[in-house]
Amino acid sequence: MLKTAQQYVDSLRALKIRAYIDGERADGVVDHPLVAPHVNAVAKTYELAHVPEHREIMTATSHLTGETVHRYTHIFQGPDDLVKKIRMLRLLGQETGTCFQRCVGLDALNAVYAITFEIDRSEGSDYHQRFVRYLRDVQKRDLMLAGAMTDPKGHRARSPIEQTDPDQFVRVVERRPDGVVIRGAKLHNTGGINAHEVLVMPGTSLKPDEKDYAIACAVPADAEGVIFIFGRQSNDGRKFEGGCDIGNPRFGVVGGEAMVVFDDVFVPNERIFMAGETAFCGTLVNYFATWHRANYGGCKGGNADLLIGATAKMTRILGTDRNAVVRDKLVEMIHMNETTYASAVGASAMGYRLPCGSCMVDPMMANTVKQNITRNVYEIGRLSHDLAGGFLATMPGQKAFENPEIGQFVRKYHTANPEFDVMERVRIGRYIENVTSVTTMVEAMHGAGSPQAQRLAMMGLSAIDEKIRMLERVIDADDAVRDVC
């Protein structure tokens, strides 16, 4: 079944989640001013699946049932699916101007699908069939999943069992005949607070004596012992005010991240997809991260389309739009944006088949996409700030524009090209301010792994020796002489 946007919102209301927002217990999250924009962004993913012109990229045919499912619950069957995913992300980025939060869950579904197959093939376990049953349910109910991989991690130079506090990585603290009890936390959960389920995965490769930490499982968002603690974002207090100072009032900025605490949560056997198979954790993390890194060329591409649009409009408002240098800066923004989009499409088109039959993106290209994103999103933002001018940082708030005593001055002296209403300049300026805030930038930097994580992967994939051999084949003196002869 494809949920409608309204059905998604209604289904969230039915959940009895334990959530804390701004340090206080929240009874419901759907209508909370700090969460509502993020709910709207996810609702858009549901809405577009029902729009005929977008159906081809927003939906897919389930390889399990042959039925139409949301692409956000689909297992990638080939390069075509992967390319359509990137196209979907760009579309959603353009429609919301922010993070629409379902990608982590999608890539987590795919990673657990692939790894359970490989564990069973090696160990004779039955995780894969268990997971397939779970996946059928996810597809049938069109669930919104949060993917929970990043542990608090404590001291970065120490492994899970070397930590002073053993709970710095999610772990099994009790084994029962019918399931396990888990304890720990996952930080930075995108969409966690407005998801139906949390798909928990280990966040690092593990040693054989770290079996308790090798746990992958699905936990309903309102399971006993699950606590969501919502993060703060730049300018979030403005969401209580309404008006144009918010920036992106309907969809917010980034994914509305929460930390999720597992305060001794019982997980029944049918929801456990890995419990102790340490040898497979590195591959699981790698699968998830590789798919996830390619995504950024799609979603950030869509977001940047809006930022480029906002910046271009601002140049018209300032009267600079016909200047060749200004136009060239816009071209540079477009160039960087299309470069990462092209790499994401390329990584998808070059996908290869995994043992389970699903399709993995080209890993070198996917890591390159994300590495470029850690720079290009900042650079595109820098050029936007450059072209928009200093008022981004200094302009008075909406109330000043409305004040009967000073409003006339604020309006008069913020009017640039008189063809445009001053409030248009303010609204677009606030949009640029918010979508280039530290929240957005840090997501580009750290989402799907820090820049160094991509560089390590690229070094591992670099085949330097093979490149040296290629060189030697080309410049080999004997061959050259023979060719001439």
Ligand X SMILES: Cc1cc2nc3c(=O)[nH]c(=O)nc-3n(C[C@H](O)[C@H](O)[C@H](O)COP(=O)(O)OP(=O)(O)OC[C@H]3O[C@@H](n4cnc5c(N)ncnc54)[C@H](O)[C@@H]3O)c2cc1C
User: Can you give the binding site for ligand X, defined by CB under 6 A?
Assistant: 104, 147-150, 153, 156-157, 186, 188-190, 254-255, 257, 442-443, 446-450, 452
| 242: helix, strand or coil | coil
Burial level of 247, CB count in 10 A (0-12/13-18/19+)?
buried
Judge whether 443 counts as a catalytic residue: yes
Q: Select 36 or 200, whichever has its Cβ closest to ligand X.
A: 200
Q: Give the pair of three-digit tokens for residue 205.
A: 């490769």
Q: How far apart are CA 180 and CA 272, in angstroms?
A: 8
Tell me the β-bridge partners of 360.
352
HSE, side-chain direction, 13 A CA sphere, residue 476: 10
Please provide residue 264's backbone torsions phi and psi, each rounded to the nearest 5 degrees: 55, 70
Helix (H) or strand (E) holding 382: helix 363-388
Calculate the alpha carbon distances from 25 to 22, 28, 148, 226, 418 in Å: 8, 9, 22, 13, 48
Q: How far is the CB of 148 from ligand X (least distance, A)?
A: 5
Q: Select 147 or 179, whichever has its Cβ closest to ligand X.
A: 147
Q: How far is the CB of 203 from ligand X (least distance, A)?
A: 7
Q: How far apart are CA 465 and CA 246, in angstroms?
A: 52
105-131 per-residue burial string, b: 16 or more CB within 10 A, e: under 16: bbbbbbbbbbbbbbbbeeeebebbebb
Report the 3 state secondary structure along 137-166.
Answer: HHHHHCCCEEEECCCCCCCCCCCHHHCCCH
In eight-state DSSP terms, residue 29 is S
Which one of the listed residues 46, 134, 213, 296 is annotated catalytic? 296
Pairing of strands 272-275, 258-268: unpaired
| 225: helix, strand or coil | coil
Place of tokens 């301010």: 433
**Cβ partners under 8 Å of residue 372, min gap 6:** 336, 339, 340, 343
Burial level of 325, CB count in 10 A (0-12/13-18/19+)?
exposed
Q: How far is the CB of 193 from ligand X (least distance, A)?
A: 11
Q: Select 188 or 238, whichever has its Cβ closest to ligand X.
A: 188
Q: How far is the CB of 186 from ligand X (least distance, A)?
A: 6
Which one of the listed residues 47, 59, 72, 103 is annotated catalytic? 103
Q: How far apart are CA 419 and CA 313, in angstroms?
A: 12
Q: Select 155 or 382, whichever has its Cβ closest to ligand X.
A: 155
Q: Select 55 or 446, whichever has its Cβ closest to ligand X.
A: 446
Judge whether 217 counts as a catalytic residue: no
Q: How far is the CB of 93 from ligand X (least distance, A)?
A: 15
Judge whether 485 counts as a catalytic residue: no
Q: How far is the CB of 153 from ligand X (least distance, A)?
A: 5
Judge whether 283 counts as a catalytic residue: no
* 166-172-176 Cα angle (round to 5): 145
Q: Select 103 or 314, whichever has its Cβ closest to ligand X.
A: 103
Q: How far is the CB of 453 from ligand X (least distance, A)?
A: 6
Q: How far is the CB of 160 from ligand X (least distance, A)?
A: 13
Judge whether 103 counts as a catalytic residue: yes
Q: Select 214 or 448, whichever has its Cβ closest to ligand X.
A: 448
Judge whether 257 counts as a catalytic residue: yes
Q: Which amino acid is at 151?
A: D
Judge whether 99 counts as a catalytic residue: yes
Which one of the listed residues 292, 311, 436, 439 is annotated catalytic? 292
Q: Select 122 or 452, whichever has its Cβ closest to ligand X.
A: 452
Q: How far is the CB of 445 from ligand X (least distance, A)?
A: 7
Q: Select 79 or 449, whichever has its Cβ closest to ligand X.
A: 449
Which one of the listed residues 96, 98, 116, 190 is annotated catalytic? 190
Q: For helices 281-318 and 324-349, what crossing angle results, to 10°?
A: 160
Which one of the listed residues 46, 73, 99, 128 is annotated catalytic? 99
| 42: helix, strand or coil | helix
Which one of the listed residues 217, 244, 281, 299 is annotated catalytic? 299
Judge whether 287 counts as a catalytic residue: no
Q: How far apart are CA 50 and CA 331, in angstroms?
A: 34
Q: Which positions are annotated as active-site residues? A: 99, 103, 190, 257, 292, 296, 299, 443
